[in-house]
Amino acid sequence: MTNSRIAAVDVGNDAIKALFGKLDSELYIPNVIARDIEDRPVIGIEELDEKDPLEGIHIKVHSPALQENNAIYRVGNLATKSDNPSELDPGSSKSEEDQTLIMLFAALALDAVNEENPAGFRKVNNVIEANYTLGTGLPLREVKEGKDVGYRSKLLGNVHQVEFLITPKYQGLKVNIKFEEVKVYPEGFAAYINLVMDNDLNIINRDLIDKRILIQDIGGLSTDIAVIKNRKVDDDKAQGFNLGVAESLEAIREEIRKKHGVELDSRRDVVEIITKKNDRNHIMVRGSRTSVHDITDRILLELAKKQYRHLRNVWQKNSQTEICYFVGGGAIVLKDYLKTLNNNLDGYNIDFFEDEKESIWMMANAYYKLISDFTRRTSSETMKAADKGAKKEEQKAGAAK
On whether residue 275 sits in a domain, the answer given is yes
pLDDT, tens digit (0-9, with 9 covering 90-100), for 236-259: 887 888 888 989 999 999 999 999
Mapped onto helix, strand or coil, the DSSP state of residue 292 is coil
Report the C-alpha gap between 187 and 143 in whole angstroms: 9
Do 230 and 144 fall into the same domain? no
CATH label of the domain that carries residue 169: 3.30.420.40
On whether residue 398 sits in a domain, the answer given is no
pLDDT at 102: 97
On whether residue 32 sits in a domain, the answer given is yes
pLDDT at 1: 43
pLDDT at 117: 83
Answer whether 9's CB lies under 8 Å from 25's CB: no
Residues in the chain: 401
pLDDT at 84: 83
Task: Say if strands 213-218 and 223-229 run parallel, antiparallel, or are unpaired.
Answer: antiparallel
Do 344 and 369 fall into the same domain? no
Alpha helices, DSSP H only, in 67-133? 77-80, 98-113
- What residues are paired with 229 via a beta bridge? 232
On whether residue 392 sits in a domain, the answer given is no
Do 307 and 333 fall into the same domain? yes
Which residue from 232, 193, 226 is spatially nearest to 315, judged by alpha carbons? 226
Q: Which helix (H) or strand (E) holds 34?
A: strand 33-35
Domain enclosing residue 372, as ranges: 5-190+361-383
> Burial of 118 by CB count in 10 Å (0-12 exposed, 13-18 middle, 19+ buried)?
exposed
pLDDT at 384: 58
Do 275 and 376 fall into the same domain? no
DSSP track, 339-383: HHHHHHTT---EEE-SSHHHHHTHHHHHHHHHHHHHHHHHHHHHH
> What is the 3-state secondary structure of 248-298?
HHHHHHHHHHHHHCCCCCCHHHHHHHHHCCCCCCEEEECCEEEECHHHHHH
pLDDT at 365: 92
On whether residue 394 sits in a domain, the answer given is no
On whether residue 339 sits in a domain, the answer given is yes
Last residue of a domain, which of 359, 374, 392? 359
Answer whether 270's CB lies under 8 Å from 249's CB: yes
* pLDDT under 50: residue ranges of the chain: 1
Do 277 and 374 fall into the same domain? no
Q: What is the Cα 188 distance to its own chain's centre?
A: 13
pLDDT, tens digit (0-9, with 9 covering 90-100), for 45-79: 556 777 899 999 999 999 999 999 999 999 999 99
Do 351 and 374 fall into the same domain? no
Which residue from 372, 380, 331, 333 is spatially nearest to 353, judged by alpha carbons? 331
On whether residue 340 sits in a domain, the answer given is yes
Do 336 and 265 fall into the same domain? yes
pLDDT at 282: 92
Do 147 and 230 fall into the same domain? no
- What residues are paired with 11 via a beta bridge? 16
Number of H helices, E strands in the chain: 12, 18
Amino acid at 79: A
Give, in order, the Cα–Cα distances in Å from 71 to each of 15, 60, 87, 189, 285. Answer: 21, 6, 17, 35, 37
Q: What is the DSSP letter of 203?
A: B
Report the C-alpha gap between 363 and 382 in whole angstroms: 28
Task: Say if strands 5-11 and 174-186 run parallel, antiparallel, or are unpaired.
Answer: unpaired
Task: Say if strands 323-327 and 350-352 run parallel, antiparallel, or are unpaired.
Answer: parallel
On whether residue 331 sits in a domain, the answer given is yes
Do 91 and 152 fall into the same domain? yes
Do 351 and 307 fall into the same domain? yes
Answer whether 111's CB lies under 8 Å from 7's CB: yes
What Rg, from alpha-carbon coordinates, does the chain have?
23
Residue 81 phi, psi (nearest 5): -90, 0
Do 17 and 87 fall into the same domain? yes
Report the C-alpha gap between 246 and 241 in whole angstroms: 13
pTM: predicted TM-score of the whole model, two decimal places: 0.84
pLDDT at 177: 98
274-280 contact pairs (CB < 8 A, 24+): 274/300, 274/333, 275/332, 275/333, 275/356
How many domains does the chain divide into?
A: 2
Which residues fall within 8 angstroms of residue 3, CB to CB, at 6 or more apart? 119, 120, 121, 131
pLDDT at 221: 81
Do 162 and 16 fall into the same domain? yes
pLDDT at 210: 79
